[in-house]
Chains A and B, each alone.
Chain A
Amino acid sequence: MNRARIEKFYYLMKLGREFELKAKEHYMLGDIAGFLHLDIGQEAVSVGTMQAFDKGDVFTHYREHVLAIARGMEPKKIMAELFGKKTGISKGKGGSMHLFEPRLNFYGGDAIVAGHLPMAVGCAYARKLQNEKAGVFAIFGDGASNAGAFFESINIASAWKLPLMFFAENNYYAIGTHISWVSPFVDLKEKARNYMPTFTCDGMDVCDVYNTVIKAKEIIENGLGPVFIEAKTYRYEGHSMSDAGKYRSEEEMEIFKRKDPIENLKKKAIKLGLVDEEYFNALDAKVEQVINEAVEFAANSPEPEIEEAFEDVFCKECENAIS
């Protein structure tokens, strides 16, 4: 652990958390609608993976605000998207669940559980063909690990030795269904271990997530086929904003909150004498400024024109051929 890395990890996790707390606030105020899935509690996974897997392509599920921020997407463009504004990353047509930025090789924002995994497999196939060593990263939850698309994907990726990192973000609950009620394995790596090398890491510890991805990435970069990483983590908030949380206990929540990724990184760094409290206070101030600017940008941006609803169905060449 060094100072530069601590700064990056802490800053991005804190940015992610404050972004989402602000999003929650504006959801309550009615500025944000639809489904809003918060990543609060799981920031170590989003930040640790993206810091380690810093090249290549990224396919993700719909709980992706912090992952997008950690990949380099501007918070203000994400906030504007949540507000449904013209300046949003997807022009206000995708919303919280559909953040795309091909320039960052960041391909969604997929809201069909496990639906992005076959696409990640295909992308990995193409990268192998194109001799791109960095490969593809696909993150999914415990819920996705029960879907047919998941099993098809580990099978094909393994059969064709594709450069693909399957990252299972196991927060135990598929909406309100505990993994043990619907799967023979609580440890998701059990599902993949006959297909590819598997790794586990502590999803509440950003350094462990980062180090594990770095280690596993070598296998991909050396052309040895796919890898599977499982991180156990926990979301403090409901599945989405409409979740009453009846399926889990306060005690369980407390166990994980004691392992909070942001607070623990801070404590660990101070204890090791690498930095002091003041150092973090300065980072917090920077985060606050970025978030305030993001909200201001989103609030002051214009709504899309009605015509926008009819754009981007097809590309211009197809539109011309049709008309």
Chain B
Amino acid sequence: MLYREALNKAIDECMENDESVVILGEDVGRYGGSYRVTEGLISKYGEKRVIDTPIAELSIVGNAIGMAIAGLRPIAEIMTVNFSLLAMDQIINHASKLRYMSGGKMTIPLVVRMPGGVSRQLAAQHSESYETLYASIPGLIVLTASNATYAYNALKWAIKSNDPVIFLEHELLYPMEMDFKEVKDFNPFRAEIVKEGKDLTILTYLKMRYDVIEAEKELKKAGIDAEIIDLNSLRPLDIDTIAKSIKKTKKCVIVEEDHKTGGMGAEVVSQIMENCFYDLDAPVLRIAGEDVPIPYNRKLELSTIPTPDKIVSKILDWKAKNGI
């Protein structure tokens, strides 16, 4: 199943089973979805539940919150993470705080889906990974879907949940063919051990998962048995799974596509320091996006984010430097 089809299947089933579920965003209806995630939904559920909005992100999310207040279960689609900055006020000042500042009286069952990350030469205003902006906000749940199984099961969970969920996708994953399975009693907050290993823990999420899997093949040739963990949920973070792995491997690498300074890995390292300091044989290695806006030229673009080659060489250098 294609990754985007898994997302579509989750939305479709939720809309089928619960008529309070609606989806709104730019081109989600008649156009069929910018990345075809919502393809076919309008013909099944009509334009009242598959809502084409103006290009006004603040309103897309603000309207969705109002729908949630009125008892609907809205899914707001933002075309790309960069555009979600226009909706920040509604996401952070409203969605994340309404339950709390009303003393628990307000309930906002809301999903805000958005793809981000470096795609193919879309330049600085369409290529960002701003997950830390959301992962630093109390009152938000931040999930990242790297694969079809998680995308389907976690999105279904998110649509049924009674709190706001930021659901992050990646533009390069949409057309990818992937394994898929339906999971009963799915818990979206658990990290996934993608591959077990004993020498080294590699933490990653979203599209970097695949770069890490590529890199691991080379590491294996160099005699390194790496454990790969996909974080899945960025807020809350599954520190238990991380800590258990580090206890075993004594070494940890974080591979992330966002900018290094203040990036997601910074928070992960902080939690590792608090929880696993005495288990570590070496400082945690962060392999992250460079601290520059994303350039257009393909060669330059690739130079700003981790790639399988870079992941391998940085890990080998780090091991040599630390004598581990």
A interface residues with partner B (beta carbon < 8 Å): 57, 59, 88-94, 98, 100-102, 107-110, 112, 115, 117-127, 129-130, 148-149, 152-153, 155-156, 159, 311-315, 317-318, 321-322
A219 vs B65: C-alpha distance when bound (angstroms): 25
The answer to whether A118 touches B98 (Cβ under 8 A) is no
| Residue numbers in A under 8 Å from B283 (CB-CB) | none
Within 8 A of A (CB), among B63-106: 63-72, 74, 89-90, 93-94, 98-106
| Residue numbers in A under 8 Å from B90 (CB-CB) | 115, 118-119
A290 vs B124: C-alpha distance when bound (angstroms): 60
A311-B104, A314-B163 known; A152 vs B56 contact (CB < 8 Å): yes
- Chain B interface residue count, CB cutoff 8 Å, equals 46
The answer to whether B54 touches A312 (Cβ under 8 A) is no
The answer to whether B93 touches A115 (Cβ under 8 A) is yes
With CB as the reference atom, state the residue of chain A lying closest to B162. A315
The answer to whether A321 touches B70 (Cβ under 8 A) is no
Contact code string B30-64 (vs A, CB < 8 Å = 1, else 0):
00000000000000000011010110101101111
Contact among B61, B69, B93 with A123 in the assembled complex (CB-CB below 8 Å): B69
A98 vs B188: C-alpha distance when bound (angstroms): 32
A121-B62, A129-B72 known; A110 vs B94 contact (CB < 8 Å): yes
B107 at the interface (CB under 8 A from A): yes
A148 vs B61: C-alpha distance when bound (angstroms): 14
A122-B67, A129-B48 known; A149 vs B102 contact (CB < 8 Å): no
| Residue numbers in B under 8 Å from A59 (CB-CB) | 66
The answer to whether B63 touches A121 (Cβ under 8 A) is yes
B293 at the interface (CB under 8 A from A): no
B136 at the interface (CB under 8 A from A): no
The answer to whether A152 touches B107 (Cβ under 8 A) is no
B161 at the interface (CB under 8 A from A): yes
With CB as the reference atom, state the residue of chain B lying closest to A153. B59
The answer to whether B100 touches A118 (Cβ under 8 A) is no
| Residue numbers in B under 8 Å from A98 (CB-CB) | 101-102
A123-B70, A126-B66, A315-B107 known; A112 vs B94 contact (CB < 8 Å): yes
Contact among B64, B103, B163, B187 with A122 in the assembled complex (CB-CB below 8 Å): B64
A121 vs B64: C-alpha distance when bound (angstroms): 9
B255 at the interface (CB under 8 A from A): no
The answer to whether A156 touches B56 (Cβ under 8 A) is yes
The answer to whether A314 touches B99 (Cβ under 8 A) is yes
For this complex, 20 residue pairs linking A to B, each with C-beta atoms less than 8 Å apart, are A57-B69, A90-B102, A93-B103, A102-B105, A112-B89, A115-B93, A115-B94, A118-B59, A118-B62, A118-B90, A120-B66, A122-B62, A122-B66, A123-B66, A125-B67, A129-B49, A156-B63, A315-B99, A315-B107, A322-B236
B141 at the interface (CB under 8 A from A): yes
B189 at the interface (CB under 8 A from A): yes
With CB as the reference atom, state the residue of chain B lying closest to A100. B102
The answer to whether B58 touches A130 (Cβ under 8 A) is no
Given contacts A119-B66, A122-B68, 9 further A-B contacts (CB under 8 A): A90-B103, A112-B93, A118-B66, A122-B65, A123-B69, A125-B51, A149-B58, A159-B54, A313-B139
A159 vs B68: C-alpha distance when bound (angstroms): 21
B138 at the interface (CB under 8 A from A): yes
Residue with the greatest number of chain B CB neighbours at <10 A, chosen from A121, A153, A318: A318
With CB as the reference atom, state the residue of chain A lying closest to B106. A100
The answer to whether A317 touches B161 (Cβ under 8 A) is yes
| Residue numbers in A under 8 Å from B63 (CB-CB) | 118-119, 121-122, 125, 156
The answer to whether B58 touches A102 (Cβ under 8 A) is no
The answer to whether B139 touches A314 (Cβ under 8 A) is yes
A121 vs B138: C-alpha distance when bound (angstroms): 26
The answer to whether B58 touches A119 (Cβ under 8 A) is no
A93 vs B253: C-alpha distance when bound (angstroms): 40
The answer to whether B62 touches A107 (Cβ under 8 A) is no
A121-B66, A123-B67 known; A317 vs B162 contact (CB < 8 Å): yes
Contact among A107, A123, A129, A156 with B54 in the assembled complex (CB-CB below 8 Å): A156
- Shortest Cβ gap from B225 to chain A (Å): 31
The answer to whether B71 touches A130 (Cβ under 8 A) is yes
With CB as the reference atom, state the residue of chain A lying closest to B233. A322
Shortest Cβ-Cβ A-B pairs, 9 listed: A118-B62, A122-B66, A91-B103, A126-B70, A122-B63, A100-B102, A119-B66, A312-B104, A123-B66
With CB as the reference atom, state the residue of chain A lying closest to B187. A321
A318 vs B56: C-alpha distance when bound (angstroms): 30
With CB as the reference atom, state the residue of chain B lying closest to A99. B102
Residue with the greatest number of chain B CB neighbours at <10 A, chosen from A98, A120, A159, A314: A314
